[in-house]
Structure 1
Amino acid sequence: MIDHLDHLVLTTTNLDATIRFYTDLLGMRLEQFGNGRYALKFGEQKINLHVRGSEFEPKAHLPVPGALDLCFIASIPLDAVIAHIEQAGWPIVEGPVLRTGAVHKIRSIYLRDPDLNLIEISEPVLEG
């Protein structure tokens, strides 16, 4: 019945810092839509941004910054991602480590965005 995820909503306390993290550090594209709303686009998905206290209706029952744990599959080798993040001076919390993804085993690193959401960036580990 369900095919794929179209978008999710991230609630932030600092819109500018969040936009910089996801665009400058992770390479997502910023889109403005509707009445001053923002989204971060990557592949065929997007993350809509809500600012705490000014959320778009309807919204989650308890929208809270820092409550998400997201895993992204990188479009480049994970070692290149690590080099980019280290060059930017952003701290890596853990990794690289092996994990179990939705489709494959994955090799992952973890970092936190400006609202302290846990961000996992991974590459598939193809068995062969």
Structure 2
Amino acid sequence: MPLIDHIDHVVLTCVDLDATKHFYTEVLQMRLEPFGAGRVAFRFGNQKINVHVRGEEFEPTAHLPVPGALDLCFIATVPLDEVTAHLERCGWPILEGPVERTGATQKIRSVYVRDPDLNLIEISELTP
């Protein structure tokens, strides 16, 4: 049996917490979850993204916690056409896609956007 089963959370370092909250809660429709002493996370499914503000990181932290260094892929709960329509309604530019890619368990169809800190965000649907 392997040692690791799944990812519980990742930590994102941002510059502008309000802009980050807007993107992850309004554009990606994740749930804002306050926790601990003034901390916030974005919850989706059984995972979450904990947030650190640059210069105010919680210890322990990554060796070089910097905004814009992440490349994340999310599987959407709706068809990718609905995702692209939602992004257009939000005025959020799509960098690339839809394009075919290889996911962790099967082929996926994806679009790419950037969050306010320029992290690369891939939003995908599973394909047969």
For Structure 1 versus Structure 2, the TM-score category normalised by the shorter chain is over 0.9
- Counterpart residue type for residue 107 of structure 1: R
Kindly provide the amino acid, as one letter, of the partner of residue 37 in structure 2.
Answer: N
**TM-superposed deviation, 1:81:** 0.3
User: 2:5 maps to what in 1?
Assistant: 3
Percent identity reads: 71
Q: Distance in 1 between matches of 2:14 and 2:115?
A: 10
Ranges of 4+ aligned residues in structure 1 off by more than 3 Å: none
Structure 1: where are the runs of 5+ without partners?
Answer: none
- In the TM superposition, residue 90 of structure 1 has moved relative to its aligned partner by 0.6
> Gaps spanning 5+ residues in structure 2: where?
none
Task: Report the aligned-residue RMSD.
Answer: 0.4
In 2: Cα distance, 1:119 partner to 1:81 partner: 13
Which residue of 1 is the match for residue 110 of structure 2?
108
SS at 2:94's partner residue?
coil
- Alpha-carbon offset, residue 24 of structure 1: 0.3
SS in 1 for 2:82: helix
- Displacement of 1:8 after TM fit? 0.3
| 2:75 counterpart (56, 73, 76) | 73
Query: What letter is aligned with 2:114?
Result: R
Q: Residue 35 of structure 1 is aligned with which of 29, 37, 53?
A: 37
For 2:75 and 2:106, how far apart are their aligned partners in 1?
11
Q: Which amino acid aligns with 1:5?
A: I
Offset at 1:64?
0.5
Secondary structure of 1:19's aligned partner: helix
Partner of 1:14: 16
What's the TM-score, normalizing by structure 2?
Answer: 0.98
Alignment partner, residue 54 of structure 1: 56
| Partner-residue secondary structure (3-state), 2:122 | strand
Q: TM-score, normalised to structure 1's length? A: 0.98
Shift of 1:13: 0.2
Count of residues paired in the alignment: 126
